[in-house]
Amino acid sequence: MTTGDGSNSEFKRAMVVTAHPDDAEYGCSGSVAKWCRLGWEVVYVLCTDGSKGTEDRNITSEHLAEIRAEEQREAGKTLGLKTVEFLGYPDGYLEPTLEVRKDISREIRKHKPDVLITTNPTRDLLSSGYIGHPDHFAAGEAALSAVFPSARDHLTFPELFYDEGLEPHKVLEVWVMSFGDKANFWNPLTEEDVETSIAALKQHVSQVTDPDDAGKWMKERRAELGNKIGADYAESFQKFTLS
């Protein structure tokens, strides 16, 4: 178990790659709030347009995509993000294709993160209440494949280097979001970090039907994770240090 504070003084840039608006708010926004508080530059990369996540029969996919993009921008302002990049793939249909991998590689080379957070690329059937979203697995697989080797090697997607002038970039750490005992790293958070993350989640009005209940769950879950390392709050990850 690793219990460091997750704020390596040599690291100043981070990227979070997820499938949908609000994925990062649920999974790692406490850590993002912490990094922003410490002065890091943090970028979100959203693979899909979020255009399917509703039960409202009167809204179009196009309108929903616009709503969710704006909600994510507002959440980003709450957290203090540098920017949010939208790749625009259709919600619900994401696959870890070479095209998606290339687009994520472009963002890595552009923003040069020291640390990259993404979702678990494998389906975990140990929970009895959630089977996982295929877009989450696809985003995680594409992001990990972009980190190694695509963003690192100038001869992988050479057009990024030769045509677009984007220098290869080596990500130093990867944190895969994890809520279970399989995590190997718990990032301690302050109450300020957790409250900021809850405020960011509440910007996703189209998705959060009971903001107070969602905030309560977020706080209780992060307190539970914090107890594992003797901290007030924490978020858990599978952490990889790349050589």
Inside any domain, residue 5:
no
* Tokens of residue 242, six digits: 């790349």
Inside any domain, residue 111:
yes
pLDDT of residue 5: 53
The answer to whether 186 and 179 are in contact (CB under 8 A) is no
Inside any domain, residue 129:
yes
* Tokens of residue 19, six digits: 């499938």
CA pair distance 81, 73, nearest whole angstrom: 9
Residues of the domain holding 67? 13-241
CA pair distance 147, 117, nearest whole angstrom: 11
Single pTM value for the model: 0.94
> Whose structure tokens read 């990889």?
240
For the segment 133-159, what is each residue's pLDDT rounded down to a tens digit? Answer: 999 999 999 999 999 999 999 999 999
Inside any domain, residue 4:
no
Task: Calculate the average pLDDT of the chain.
Answer: 94
For the segment 146-199, what is each residue's pLDDT rounded down to a tens digit? Answer: 999 999 999 999 999 999 999 999 999 999 998 667 899 999 999 999 999 999
CA pair distance 220, 144, nearest whole angstrom: 30
Inside any domain, residue 8:
no
Q: How would residue 6 be classed by pLDDT, with cut points 50, 70 and 90?
A: low
Backbone angles phi and psi of 230, in degrees to 5: 75, 25
Inside any domain, residue 70:
yes
CA pair distance 94, 104, nearest whole angstrom: 13
Inside any domain, residue 2:
no
Inside any domain, residue 154:
yes
The total domain count for the chain is 1
Q: How many CB atoms lie within 10 A of CB 83?
A: 12
Q: Pairing between strand 83-89 and 185-189?
A: unpaired
Q: What is the CATH number of the domain that holds 31?
A: 3.40.50.10320
Q: How would residue 90 be classed by pLDDT, with cut points 50, 70 and 90?
A: very high
Backbone angles phi and psi of 156, in degrees to 5: -95, 125
pLDDT of residue 128: 67
The candidate with the shortest Cα–Cα distance to 235, out of 226, 33, 60, is 226
Backbone angles phi and psi of 114, in degrees to 5: -80, -40
CA pair distance 71, 91, nearest whole angstrom: 16
Which SS3 state, helix, strand or coil, does residue 164 take? coil
* Tokens of residue 71, six digits: 């909600």
